[in-house]
């Protein structure tokens, strides 16, 4: 469940897939996995494992662990007792130490095996990219992962014992352990490389405790705002322990210990710390108010009396704190910590598709995918498909040469109106469906020019007096018959392939020679007048024969 680490590795793979291998299929699958990881980070509650400090003392241990301290990462929901039992199974002859203080030389130099085990708290080392308040669900990962510093606190009493207030003389002896590498790593345990100890005064301990309490309230409120289905019992216990003075005493003990004239006179250097503690007490009220509001919305009828008592205690606490330490108001800190999307982003995601403006290209693509669009339908001026092929050359030339946008729009409007008239006149009367495939076929076949006759086709020439037929002959790829204008009776044959290969007409007496090439219309006219009475099978005179 270390999805943050998986995302970091996925980004390296994505760089390879996108810019080196160009494997977009693997890239898309990887990005889908990353999206699921991000969603899991925000929505899935992960267990927080405990960390344990283990010291192996005595000459009976192997040299690589002898008289050394290690930090172990426990399993999910593993208690210290279970961890100790698992540890002692590896060293059945070892003796468990009862204290948490460092042992003396007599134990370290003894021949036995002594194991010291206690729970340590990981110290948060937040990455530098989190430069603003973020969701607790995101930060919670770094509270127990990627940690290298651990601390263990032991209360130490100094001075005279005060039976009325134990916080006045309770010091904290805090031991800091720094491991060789960050946990978790390739192993679940690493050796401690450095150890140092600090002492925390009672006032500093009070400030730290108030800060942790405020953060805990704020984090739980944020969790309930993000997920309304969370159980209400942890919130009830937390609020009741702070609001009801009969349970924990609240911060009244701090007031008795540090907000007195005697303490101010004896410790004038703590004036700034006292003011900070007062500010933290004042800031606790708006956090409690938000928590009680959420508790009132989710409380059941069975717990309604409990909630009403808690509200009554909170009103008294609120009046007292605001009178002594001032009023604090949370304007946007809670909203910023909810982790919700910005309003502009919410608008862009929730904007209905019907209200988004469609471009002309999208309208045309929609119309072309379904049914053929009629000109001028749906308020858009679309050119008809078929008449567009009947533009004159001058019109097409104008469209290509004119680059000015204003003139182009005017010409387009005129052209559309002209096309509409042609469309209504030529094609509206027919029942041909205007489909895109038919438009392409018709545009290629419709032409104002007369199609040429095939070379192998028989040409029939009709005259008002006689009809002559032309005998078919094999097609020739070198000689093309000239176009004939029917005026009078005429019969001729196209040259055969033998003549084209160099043979003369004398070698083939049965086949008449071809007619001379057309020079003008008068040639055929004169030829027809002189050859009017010659039969189709009779050869022309010798002076009119033209060798190929």
pLDDT(179) > 90 = yes
- Which carries the bigger pLDDT value, residue 304 or residue 467? 304
pLDDT(69) > 80 = yes
Q: What is the pLDDT of residue 415?
A: 65
Question: Are the C-beta atoms of 505 and 513 separated by less than 8 Å?
Answer: yes
d(CA 462, CA 523): 19
Which pLDDT band, with edges at 50, 70 and 90, does 267 fall under?
confident
d(CA 323, CA 317): 10
Tell me the two tokens of residue 39: 């969603």
- What percent of the chain has pLDDT above 70? 59
Radius of gyration for the chain, computed over Cα atoms and rounded to the nearest angstrom: 50
Q: What is the pLDDT of residue 427?
A: 47
Q: How far is CA 512 from the centre of its chain?
A: 85
Average pLDDT across the chain, whole number: 73
- Which carries the bigger pLDDT value, residue 385 or residue 41? 41
Q: What is the pLDDT of residue 505?
A: 44
Q: What is the pLDDT of residue 251?
A: 76
- Which carries the bigger pLDDT value, residue 48 or residue 466? 48
d(CA 273, CA 260): 14
Q: What is the DSSP string of 386-418?
A: SGGGG--HHHHHHHHH---HHHHHHHHHHHHHH
Q: What is the pLDDT of residue 263?
A: 85
Nearest to 259 by CA among 272, 278, 246, 240: 278
**Helix (H) or strand (E) run with residue 257 in it:** helix 252-258
Q: What is the pLDDT of residue 132?
A: 84
Q: What is the pLDDT of residue 260?
A: 85
Tell me the two tokens of residue 409: 């729009």
d(CA 289, CA 285): 6
Q: How far is CA 500 from the centre of its chain?
A: 75
Q: How far is CA 364 from the centre of its chain?
A: 29
Which sign does the torsion angle of CA 111, 115, 116, 120 carry? positive
pTM above 0.85, yes or no: no
Which pLDDT band, with edges at 50, 70 and 90, does 293 fall under?
very high
pLDDT(539) > 60 = no
Nearest to 108 by CA among 154, 178, 61: 61
Residue 350's contacts (CB-CB under 8 Å, 6 or more residues apart) are none
- Which carries the bigger pLDDT value, residue 343 or residue 265? 265
pLDDT(76) > 70 = yes
Which pLDDT band, with edges at 50, 70 and 90, does 122 fall under?
very high
Q: How far is CA 58 from the centre of its chain?
A: 57
Q: What is the pLDDT of residue 481?
A: 53
Which pLDDT band, with edges at 50, 70 and 90, does 222 fall under?
confident
Q: What is the pLDDT of residue 339?
A: 43
- Which carries the bigger pLDDT value, residue 457 or residue 50? 50
Out of 27-31, 240-244, 329-333, 504-508, least confident range? 504-508
Which residues are paired to 173 by β-bridges? 154, 199
pLDDT digits (tens, 9 = 90+) for 300-344: 898 899 999 999 989 988 898 888 888 887 654 444 444 444 333
Q: How far is CA 411 from the centre of its chain?
A: 45
Q: How far is CA 108 from the centre of its chain?
A: 58
Per-residue pLDDT, averaged over 393-398, amounts to 46
Q: What is the DSSP string of 216-256?
A: HHHHHHHHHHH-TTS-SHHHHHHHHHHH-TTTT-TTHHHHH
Per-residue pLDDT, averaged over 125-136, amounts to 85
Per-residue pLDDT, averaged over 175-202, amounts to 94
d(CA 280, CA 214): 8
Cα separations in angstroms, 104 against 97, 101, 292, 335, 473: 12, 9, 51, 53, 126
- The pair phi, psi for residue 161, each rounded to 5°, is -80, 130
Out of 213-227, 309-323, 358-372, least confident range? 358-372
Which pLDDT band, with edges at 50, 70 and 90, does 9 fall under?
very high
Query: Does the bond joining 85 to the residue before it have cis omega, within 30 degrees of 0?
Result: no
Per-residue pLDDT, averaged over 507-535, amounts to 53
Tell me the two tokens of residue 421: 């008239």
Relative to beta strand 189-200, strand 460-462 is: unpaired
Which pLDDT band, with edges at 50, 70 and 90, does 55 fall under?
very high
Q: What is the pLDDT of residue 116?
A: 96
Cα separations in angstroms, 369 against 176, 347, 386: 70, 30, 18
Percent of the chain as helix, strand, coil, to the nearest 5: 45, 10, 40
């Amino acid at each position: 469940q270390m999805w943050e680490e998986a995302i970091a590795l996925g980004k390296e793979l994505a760089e390879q897939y996108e810019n080196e291998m160009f494997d977009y299929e693997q890239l898309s699958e990887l990005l889908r996995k990353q999206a699921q990881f991000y969603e899991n980070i925000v929505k899935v509650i992960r267990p927080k494992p405990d960390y344990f400090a283990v010291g192996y003392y005595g000459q009976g241990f192997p040299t690589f662990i002898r008289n050394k301290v290690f930090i172990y990462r426990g399993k999910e929901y593993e208690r210290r007792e279970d961890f100790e039992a698992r540890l002692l199974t590896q060293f059945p002859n070892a003796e468990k130490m009862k204290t948490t203080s460092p042992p003396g030389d007599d134990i370290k130099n003894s021949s036995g095996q002594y194991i010291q085990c206690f729970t340590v708290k990981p110290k948060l080392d937040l990455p530098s990219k989190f430069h603003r308040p973020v969701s607790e669900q995101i930060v919670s990962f770094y509270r127990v992962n990627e940690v290298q510093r651990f601390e263990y606190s032991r209360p130490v009493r100094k001075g005279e014992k005060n039976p009325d207030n134990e916080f006045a003389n309770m010091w904290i002896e805090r031991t800091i352990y720094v491991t060789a590498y960050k946990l978790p790593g390739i192993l679940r345990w690493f050796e401690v490389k450095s150890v140092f100890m600090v002492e925390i005064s009672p006032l500093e301990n009070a400030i730290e405790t108030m800060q942790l309490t405020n953060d805990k309230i704020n984090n739980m409120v944020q969790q309930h705002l993000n997920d309304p289905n969370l159980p209400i019992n942890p919130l009830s216990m937390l609020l009741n322990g702070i609001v009801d003075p009969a349970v924990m005493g609240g911060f009244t003990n701090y007031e008795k210990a540090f907000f007195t004239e005697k303490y101010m006179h004896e410790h004038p250097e703590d004036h700034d710390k006292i003011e900070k503690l007062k500010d933290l007490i004042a800031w606790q009220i708006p956090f409690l108010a938000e928590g009680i509001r959420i508790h009132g919305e989710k409380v059941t009828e069975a717990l309604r009396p409990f909630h009403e008592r808690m509200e009554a205690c909170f009103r008294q606490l609120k009046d007292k704190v605001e009178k002594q330490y001032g009023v604090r108001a949370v304007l946007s800190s809670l909203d910023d910590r909810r982790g919700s999307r910005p309003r502009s982003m919410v608008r862009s995601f929730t904007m209905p598709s019907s209200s988004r403006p469609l471009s002309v290209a999208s309208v045309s693509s929609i119309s072309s995918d379904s049914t053929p669009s009629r000109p001028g339908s749906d308020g858009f001026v679309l050119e008809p498909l078929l008449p567009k092929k009947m533009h004159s050359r001058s019109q097409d030339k104008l469209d290509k040469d004119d680059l000015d946008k204003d003139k182009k729009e005017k010409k387009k409007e005129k052209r559309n109106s002209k096309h509409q008239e042609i469309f209504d006149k030529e094609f509206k009367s027919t029942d041909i469906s205007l489909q895109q495939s038919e438009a392409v076929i018709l545009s290629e076949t419709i032409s104002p020019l007369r199609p040429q006759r095939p070379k192998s086709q028989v040409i029939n020439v009709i005259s008002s007096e006689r009809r002559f037929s032309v005998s078919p002959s094999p097609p020739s790829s070198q000689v093309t018959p000239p176009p004939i204008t029917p005026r009078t009776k005429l019969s001729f044959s196209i040259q055969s392939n033998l003549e084209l290969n160099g043979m003369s007409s004398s070698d083939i007496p049965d086949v008449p020679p071809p007619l001379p090439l057309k020079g003008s219309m008068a040639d055929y006219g004169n030829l027809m007048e002189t050859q009017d009475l010659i039969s189709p099978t009779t050869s022309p005179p010798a002076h009119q024969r033209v060798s190929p």
